[in-house]
Amino acid sequence: MTELRTPAVVVNFKAYAEVDGPGALRLAQICQTVAEETGLCIAVCPPVAELGAVARAVDIPVLSQNVDPYKPGSATGWMTPSMVKATGACGSLINHSEHRFADDIIGQCVSMCKELGLVQMVCAESVAKAVSVAAFAPDYIAVEPPELIGGDISVTTANPRIVSDTVAAVKDVNKGISVLCGAGVKTGADVKAAIELGADGVLLASGVVKNKDPKAALLDLVSGL
């Protein structure tokens, strides 16, 4: 298992048809090739169904797309932190825009992941939400305005203030939290802008997963780190 480090490009595979079944491993291997060729940190979040297969096969950081705050035992259908750990993944997204949790659940997920040494990457839709989840002291907060997710205009172009304001506000609460930004990030120029706005990296999906040439897209993206 490889540790997540900053600056990072984190690729969330979501549930796109391209990453159903063996497609997830194929894309993760492309991410690994680019990480090896460039020496830069590219992490992947495969669909939960493929998490173990991907985590066992690649040597880049692998995060679950979700984790639920349950202990091993009577928790049918939930993804426990213990299960995530057992796959070989190094951590999990928590509260993604497409998988929202109430604040108390977010706090429980963060603390259960911490106990197991899993990286916690909490998503937030606004500066205010980022500040409120910073109280849980997760390793990472990723700010993503929902209206820009899946679109062609990067958050760094459409709303650069949300990136710089989130960085400032989160660091004000806890300097140890790394801040990523996401939504519409597709190019090296977008990544460069994110870094210039103070982010420690980006969280993105469609720019790689839906791209006909994901390797070229990744090479362009990491050129902005």
Q: Is position 7 an interface residue for ligand G3P (rule: CB under 6 A)?
A: no
Q: Of the listed pieces 25-33, 127-135, 144-152, 212-220, which binds ligand G3P according to CB under 6 A?
A: 144-152
Active site residue 18: no
Q: What is the dihedral of CA 62, 25, 85, 118, to 10 degrees?
A: 10
The whole-angstrom separation of Cα 112 and Cα 209 is: 30
Q: Is position 88 an interface residue for ligand G3P (rule: CB under 6 A)?
A: no
Of 37, 144, 147, 196, the catalytic one is 144
Alpha helices, H only, the chain: 22-38, 51-57, 81-87, 103-115, 127-134, 155-158, 160-173, 188-196, 206-209, 214-222
According to CB under 6 A, which one of 24, 84, 113, 204 is a site residue for ligand G3P?
204
Q: Is position 188 an interface residue for ligand G3P (rule: CB under 6 A)?
A: no
Residue holding tokens 């070229």?
216
Q: Residue 153 Cβ, how far from ligand G3P at the closest point, in Å? A: 10
The contact pattern for ligand G3P, residues 43-82, with x = CB under 6 A and - = no contact, is ----------------------------------------
What single letter denotes the amino acid at residue 77? G
According to CB under 6 A, which one of 113, 149, 193, 194 is a site residue for ligand G3P?
149
Q: Are the C-beta atoms of residues 69 and 42 closer than 8 Å to each other? A: no
Binding positions for ligand G3P, rule: CB under 6 A: 12, 96-97, 144, 149-150, 182-185, 203-207
